[in-house]
């Protein structure tokens, strides 16, 4: 019997989930809710969903699985609304919210009187883009997809959900909701606060030091890229993970005081250790690997600002399978940027490195 999957919120995450589900299960009926007309129309035109509505209740009773892919606080409101709607016996409800404890608690509060399964979900991939127009079937490829079981997660619920989501090619990890929120406060929520604080500080500083506006380069850009994120989503995240985030902020305050003291004391050795430790830890963490996958191999080429450079390089590498390619801008005057080409295996990387070294004058290095 074919399943009906109900995607509530046809934004970036909801629409990308729908495409991923369809990839392995073309026989499923995928229906969608979206408040705004534009993403609803795009989702229908692009075949992301078979039918769409702006009324949550319309498909609720027909769904075997419901994915709530709206902002966190709206997810909580919809959990309450669902509790008052007729639903299929044993329906599985899940969500995509970036914080988990508040959502799991809401699900347990509103849904426990019914035969409803609930699993918290957080697909850990995204971008600054929004809406169905940004839908990407490969968005979750190799990304961690966190599942936070609840009191409403019966034994077969997680295998059922993973089976429906097999086409995402994501990496599923089960973790307690509170622990999820603690870990993400450190590696996601707090860095966002830091990035925006840096921007706000620079904004104030430039009033008296106008060159601040112009001299900011690579390092500052890398540190602050995420300050361009959507404020509504981040407000929602902070509002639902306050305790962990406040704890991270307080602890970081102590760290800043420590390094301040070292600088005041002119303790060169300790300052060196401070940077060295940061560098070592960064190398150990999975951020050095694409989406945490260690089976990728990167070649870096310093390229000049000349027409056709990239085409020439790709032509030389014809026949070698390339996983990814990107240009990292550089602020050095003599080079335009660093072309980063990712290969599947060591052999391809070594072959490519040899070709570029032998046949061009570009500087080449591997990570």
Binding map of ligand NAD across residues 191-230, x = CB under 6 A, - = no contact: ----------------------------------------
Instruction: Answer yes or no: are the C-beta atoms of 34 and 43 closer than 8 Å.
Output: yes
Closest CA to 142 of 314, 363, 295, 349: 295
DSSP assigned state of 87: -
Q: Verify binding: residue 98, ligand NAD, rule CB under 6 A.
A: yes
Burial label, 69 (beta-carbon count in 10 A; 0-12, 13-18, 19+) = buried
Taking the least distance from each CB to ligand NAD, the nearer of 11 and 149 is: 11
Q: Which of 7, 9, 116, 157 touches ligand NAD by CB under 6 A?
A: 9
DSSP assigned state of 136: -
Instruction: Answer yes or no: are the C-beta atoms of 122 and 148 closer than 8 Å.
Output: yes
Query: What's CA 131's distance to the chain center, in Å?
Result: 15
Q: Verify binding: residue 121, ligand NAD, rule CB under 6 A.
A: no
**Smallest separation, CB 80 to ligand NAD (Å):** 13
**Smallest separation, CB 67 to ligand NAD (Å):** 10
Q: Verify binding: residue 69, ligand NAD, rule CB under 6 A.
A: yes
Other residues' Cβ atoms within 10 Å of the Cβ of residue 321? 9
Taking the least distance from each CB to ligand NAD, the nearer of 62 and 136 is: 136
Q: Verify binding: residue 147, ligand NAD, rule CB under 6 A.
A: no
Alpha-carbon span 129 to 184, nearest angstrom: 21
Q: Which of 7, 25, 39, 190 touches ligand NAD by CB under 6 A?
A: 39
Q: Verify binding: residue 96, ligand NAD, rule CB under 6 A.
A: yes
Instruction: Answer yes or no: are the C-beta atoms of 111 and 78 closer than 8 Å.
Output: no
Q: Verify binding: residue 30, ligand NAD, rule CB under 6 A.
A: no
Footprint of ligand NAD on this chain (CB under 6 A)? Answer: 9-14, 34-36, 39, 69-72, 74-75, 96-98, 122-123, 126, 130-131, 233
């Amino acid at each position: 019997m074919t399943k009906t999957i109900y995607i509530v919120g046809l934004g970036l995450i909801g629409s990308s989930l729908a495409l991923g589900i369809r990839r392995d299960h073309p026989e499923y009926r995928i229906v969608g809710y979206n408040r705004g007309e534009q993403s609803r129309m795009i989702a229908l035109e692009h075949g992301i969903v078979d039918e769409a509505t702006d009324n949550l209740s319309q498909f609720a009773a027909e769904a075997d699985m419901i994915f709530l892919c709206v902002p966190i606080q709206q997810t909580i409101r919809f959990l309450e609304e669902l509790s008052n709607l007729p639903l299929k016996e044993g329906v599985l409800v899940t969500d995509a919210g970036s914080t988990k404890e508040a959502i799991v608690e809401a699900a347990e509060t509103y849904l426990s009187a019914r035969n409803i399964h609930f699993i918290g979900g957080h697909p850990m991939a995204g971008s600054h883009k929004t809406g169905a127009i940004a839908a990407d079937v490969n968005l979750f490829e190799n990304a961690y997809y966190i599942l936070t079981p609840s009191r409403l997660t019966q034994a077969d619920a997680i295998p059922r959900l993973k089976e429906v989501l097999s086409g995402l090619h994501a990496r599923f990890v089960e973790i307690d909701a509170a622990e999820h929120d603690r870990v993400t406060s450190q590696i996601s929520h707090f860095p966002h606060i830091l990035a925006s604080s840096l921007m706000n500080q620079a904004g104030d500083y430039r009033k008296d030091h106008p060159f601040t506006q112009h001299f900011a380069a690579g390092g500052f850009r890398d540190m602050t890229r995420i300050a361009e994120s959507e404020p509504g989503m981040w407000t929602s995240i902070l509002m639902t993970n306050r305790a962990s985030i406040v704890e991270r902020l307080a602890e970081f305050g102590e760290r800043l005081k420590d390094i301040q003291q070292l600088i005041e004391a002119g303790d060169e050795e300790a300052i060196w250790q401070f940077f060295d430790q940061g560098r070592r830890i960064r190398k150990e963490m999975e951020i050095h690997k694409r989406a945490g996958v260690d089976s990728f191999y990167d070649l870096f080429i310093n390229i000049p600002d000349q027409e056709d450079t990239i085409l020439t390089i790709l032509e030389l590498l014809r026949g070698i399978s390339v996983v990814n390619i990107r240009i990292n801008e550089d602020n050095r005057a003599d080079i335009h940027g660093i072309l980063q080409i990712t290969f599947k295996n060591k052999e391809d990387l070594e072959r490519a490195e040899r070709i570029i070294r032998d046949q061009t004058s570009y500087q080449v290095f591997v990570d």
